[in-house]
Structure 1
Amino acid sequence: MFDCMEALGLGPRQLYDVTSHGACMLRKASPFFAGLDTFAWTSSASVQSVETQSTSSEEMVPSSPSPPPPPRVYKPCFVCQDKSSGYHYGVSSCEGCKGFFRRSIQKNMVYTCHRDKNCQINKVTRNRCQYCRLQKCFEVGMSKEAVRNDRNKKKKDVKEEVVLPESYELSGELEELVNKVSKAHQETFPSLGQLGKYTTNSSSDHRVQLDLGLWDKFSELSTKCIIKIVEFAKRLPGFTSLTIADQITLLKSACLDILMLRICTRYTPEQDTMTFSDGLTLNRTQMHNAGFGPLTDLVFAFAGQLLPLEMDDTETGLLSAICLICGDRMDLEEPEKVDKLQEPLLEALKIYARRRRPNKPHMFPRMLMKITDLRGISTKGAERAVTLKTEIPGPMPPLIREMLENPEAFEDQTESNDTARNKHISLSKKKKTNAKENVTEQNQIEFAYILFLWLLLLNIVSCLTFFFNL
């Protein structure tokens, strides 16, 4: 079996070093004495095995690493043309449109378009009209079934995910913006705790078409509130840098939105009442009789939906500013500039809301969704104002009437108003022209009269000279 073997006798605890080339040490208990016999042996098979391994090791030369595959490039998002993150629900889409479509289907959301249901959807305008965005998702081929199947798959294979806490800190510029907006809001809209509440018993127990006493009080307070909203707008950074026409357009378009948002933040659910800026507190019936009419329950429902958001004054101010400075309003001269002013407001509200509620990341999108609800209420409010004109004995207060001339809600009415305004301007110009003509004519008459007197005086002098010469 062995090519060679050499037995060496060893004494107790005595060790021999065998260093012959290719030899191994083999210790074995001796049956004849208590020591150990050490056998030095070499095996041709072992040597052959070692040589084979050495040869094979030399032959294994590491090859150069293959280049990594190029990253996959997807087509732009079919919905908004933003950068795509892959194929979701059947089409190439970005993360934003993927999440929007999934939430809309899972929650059975019903959206409303406040225009002609043909809004342009791109990465800048995609958040402005949820109705048209969802329709665009369907048009490009997103599948409802894919959302349902994805949801069922997640239910079957639930894996615990480790969510890393995100750090939300406002930059210096955003911190300054938040402080300015918050200060502007608080100085133009006192909080509920700062008001001394008082009530009235006028028509508090039953609904009537219109309580003229309550209407007079409500219209007076609304006029004051509109003035405060204009003051709030002028304090917003960058607002006064817009053209005068754009400032007026934004105020007229968003005034009713902000008015509704402000009154709804002063809702007291325990008494089902709302409090105005002077402390006047009205219940649901009195609000109906003050002029809200069929709009009352819709406004109170919206106020109830605001309660879970638990917005503070800063968030209410930022949301009001976002409502106001919005580039999708009609007839803007510089919509891109308005959009640019709105971007830091959106970022500030997102970071502030996340910092205030670290465990509720969904609060920011829920706040933005309230803007859509506000626009719906404002549209119905403008419609209510039209019917209200037939119920009140006198004219609508001028400032309220001016603010309710909303071009988005009443295009035809605005056109007629513009026509009337143009006629008025033309008439004014005509009157001015006539006045100038009258002034010119009067001057000519005066000049002729003076000339006549001068000629008369010359004649008298000539006559006297002739008389004295005689």
Structure 2
Amino acid sequence: MSKEHLSDCPPSQNSTEDNEEEDEEDWEPRVCQVCGDHATGYHFHAMTCEGCKGFFRRSVKRPTEFQCPRQGVCVITKLNRRECQACRLRKCLSIGMLKELIMSDEAVETRRNRIRRNKVFDRSLGLSPSQQSLIDELVNVHNKTFDATFSRFQFRPIDRDVNPMSVWKDTASCPKSALITHMDKWLSSFSRPTSTGSSSCSSEEKVEDDSDCGGNTVFTTLPHIADLTTYMIQNIISFAKGLHSFRALVIDDQISLLKGAMFEMMQIRFNMLFNVKTGNWECGSLTYCMDDAERAGFHRHLLDPLMQYHYTLRNLQLQEVEYVLMQAISLFSPDRAGLTHRNVIDKLQEKLAIMLKMHIDSKRTKSGKHLLYPKIVACLTEMRTMNEEYTNQVLHIVDVKPDNSFDPLILEVISKDP
């Protein structure tokens, strides 16, 4: 269709670049004074439709000697307005349309460019429908898998009777326990090969003096903390499996991502329950302090920076959406060990990072919001430095206290085997 034909089409969003804004009375009929069609407003100083507006602009910018075949007596209507250009132009001038109000080609192009720039700017401040849909999915799955009240948490009682103490000892004489290399029922759908390794010392290897295997060390809260960790792992696995983009990955990559991100995602979720005034984690009716982790056997090399991390992250005062996007960014990390489709995962993480930044830019109003995104990235990076230390300390506790405190699911998650 040519530009000439476009003049009689319904108005587009950008077709009013040369409108003259004037106040209109409520009673005034919106009828084109040239042809009687529905008028869209004042154009070049007269109430006209889009078709007559375009005709007048073209006729003036490309002047042509129009001739009337009926001696200039044509009555212009909506149906015949294209039959006699001479009478139509004369009617435009007679109702007061002004040639002086027509913008030059250069002015029209400048205005169009400004409109395009404004549209790009507007899009940069808001999430697209597809991005918002993905955020809605993430938040919905998070709410289904994050039990903030811990109402479904079944645990062994927590024992705080003994003061916290360091439990790291020289355990050179203590045999290293075999790691169970299969997931429990929450990962049974992954169809991963299993082995029958034992998590305790074998009868042939067991030493006579219990102190050689950490018998003198107190792990009063370890059973309860192990149950709490298992519960968090189960919920995080459910969160990941609830995401379409995660289920679309191959099984081995799913397992590698979960194992690599589990500690980080647990800390992000725990941070949502952290009270900076008391330094405690308020998990429904249960309240935990860092001493509980030390009583379980964890060392201050991990606990001190971890405590500082929770204060730092909580003081950012993140919204729920930002916490959820942090979890997803951590989950879809393309540098985890054992991944086979790193490019796919890298694109997923990049998309999530862009969404987090756009959410902050569009939803946050306080000054300093532009510093929030890099601060979140710094927190994610800091957690990576603690991830390996956490794994080493859990493995050490397994070595010095080789009983059934840890669920096989924990042992599989912290296993360094691919």
**Does the alignment pair 1:207 with 2:161?**
no
- Name the amino acid aligned to 1:388: I
CA 1:219–1:169 in 2, change beyond 3 Å: closer, same or farther?
Answer: same
1:218 to 215, 225, 232: 225
Deviation at 1:224, TM superposition (A): 1.3
Aligned to 2:305: 298
Flag the structure with more relative contact order, 1 or 2, with Cα contacts below 8 A and sequence separation at least 6: 2
Is 1:180 matched with 2:141?
A: no
Matches of 1:232 and 1:222, distance apart in 2: 15
Deviation string, structure 1 residues 145-193 (Cα, Å, up to 9, x no partner): xxxxxxxxxxxxxxxxxxx999621110011111111111222113479
Q: Match for 1:255 among 262, 265, 270?
A: 262
CA contact (8 A) 1:223 1:400 kept: yes
Q: Is the 8 A contact 2:142 2:239 kept in 1?
A: yes
Q: Where does 1:407-418 land on structure 2 (aligned, <5 Å)?
A: 414=417
Unaligned regions of 5+ residues in structure 2, if any?
1-120, 168-216
Distance 1:195 1:303 in 2: 25
Q: SS state of the match for residue 140, structure 2?
A: helix
Alpha-carbon distance in 1 for matches of 2:378, 2:326 = 11
State the match for 1:133 in structure 2. none
Pairs within 5 Å for 1:236-315: 236-276=243-283, 279-294=285-300, 295-315=302-322
What RMSD in Å do the two structures reach over aligned CA positions? 2.9
| Matching residue within 335, 340, 345 for 1:338 | 345
Q: Show the counterpart of 2:387.
A: 378
Residues 1:229 and 2:236 are matched in the alignment: yes
Going from structure 1 to structure 2, the CA distance change for 1:235 and 1:374 (only over 3 Å counts) comes to: same
**How far apart are 1:318 and its partner, in Å?**
0.6
Range with greater deviation from structure 2 (220-229 or 279-288): 279-288
What's the offset of the Cα at 1:316? Answer: 0.9
Q: Distance in 1 between matches of 2:328 and 2:282?
A: 22
- The answer (yes or no) to whether the contact 1:223–1:399 under 8 Å persists in 2 is yes
String of CA shifts for 1:101-149, please: whole Å, max 9, x gaps. xxxxxxxxxxxxxxxxxxxxxxxxxxxxxxxxxxxxxxxxxxxxxxxxx
Mark the CA change 1:212 to 1:377 in structure 2 (over 3 Å): closer, same or farther: same
Quote the offset at 1:195 in angstroms: 11
Secondary structure at 1:390's aligned position in 2?
Answer: helix
CA contact 2:220–2:295 (8 Å) conserved in 1: no
- The alpha carbon displacement at 1:325 in A equals 0.6
**Maintained 8 Å contact 1:204/1:286:** no
Mapped partners of 2:402, 2:410: distance in 1: 16
CA distance in structure 1 between the aligned counterparts of 2:152 and 2:319, rounded to whole angstroms = 16
Cα drift, residue 337 of structure 1: 1.1
Name 2:374's counterpart in structure 1.
365
Q: Distance in 2 between matches of 1:304 and 1:240?
A: 34
Paired AA for residue 363 in structure 1: L
The match for 1:404 is 414
Q: 1:101-180 maps to which residues of 2 (within 5 A)?
A: 168-180=125-137
* Aligned residue identity for 1:361: H
Distance 2:351 2:332 in 1: 11
Amino acid at match of 1:237: H
Letter in 2 for 1:344: K
Conservation of the 8 A alpha-carbon contact between 2:138 and 2:243: yes
Distance in 2 of aligned mates of 1:195 and 1:305:
29
How far does the alpha carbon of each residue in 1:428-457 deviate from its partner, in whole angstroms, 9 at most, with x for none? xxxxxxxxxxxxxxxxxxxxxxxxxxxxxx
Question: d(CA) in 1 for partners of 2:151 and 2:125?
Answer: 31
Deviations 1:209-261 (A, max 9, x none): 36544111111111111111111011223111111111111111111111122
Shift of 1:194: 9.1
1:204 & 1:299 partners in 2: Cα distance? 22
CA contact (8 A) 2:329 2:353 kept: yes
Q: SS at the partner of 1:221?
A: helix
User: Hey, what's the Cα distance between the residues in 1 that align with 2:123 and 2:150?
Assistant: 34
Q: CA deviation at 1:382?
A: 0.7
One-letter identity of the residue aligned with 1:168 = L
User: What is aligned with 1:329?
Assistant: 336
1:388-436 CA-partner distances (Å, limit 9, x unpaired): 1133240432100000014xxxxxxx3xxx7xxxxxxxxxxxxxxxxxx
Question: Per the alignment, do residues 332 and 206 of structure 1 end up closer, same or farther by CA in structure 2, a change over 3 Å counting?
Answer: closer
Whole-Å Cα distance in 2 between the matches of residues 248 and 280 of structure 1?
30
Normalised by the size of structure 1, how large is the TM-score?
0.48
Percent of aligned positions with the same letter in both sequences? 25
In the alignment, the residues of structure 2 paired with residue 166 and residue 242 of structure 1 have an alpha-carbon distance, to the nearest angstrom, of 30
Q: Return the structure number with greater helix share.
A: 1
Letter in 2 for 1:335: R
Q: Which amino acid aligns with 1:189?
A: F
Which of 359, 367, 378 pairs up with 1:352?
Answer: 359
Secondary structure, counterpart of 1:291 in structure 2: coil
Alignment of 1:434-445 (within 5 A): none
Letter in 1 for 2:303: T
Query: Kindly tell me: are residues 288 and 264 of structure 1, through their superposed partners in 2, closer, same or farther at Cα, counting changes over 3 Å?
Result: farther
| Secondary structure of the corresponding residue to residue 239 of structure 1 | helix
Residue 335 of structure 1 deviates from its aligned partner by 0.7
Matched residues in 2 for 1:177 and 1:330: separation?
A: 26
Inter-partner Cα distance in structure 1 for 2:395 and 2:144: 32
* Secondary structure of residue in 1 paired with 2:338: coil
Name the count of aligned residue pairs. Answer: 243
Specify the SS of the correspondent of 2:126: coil
* Structure 1 residue 357 displacement after superposition: 2.1
| Contact 1:203–1:211 (8 Å) recurs in 2 | no
How far off its partner does 1:296 sit?
A: 1.7
- 1:268 and 1:311 map into 2 onto residues whose CA distance is 13
The amino acid of 2:356's aligned partner reads: L
Secondary structure of 1:238's aligned partner: helix
1:320–1:204 Cα change, 3 Å:
farther
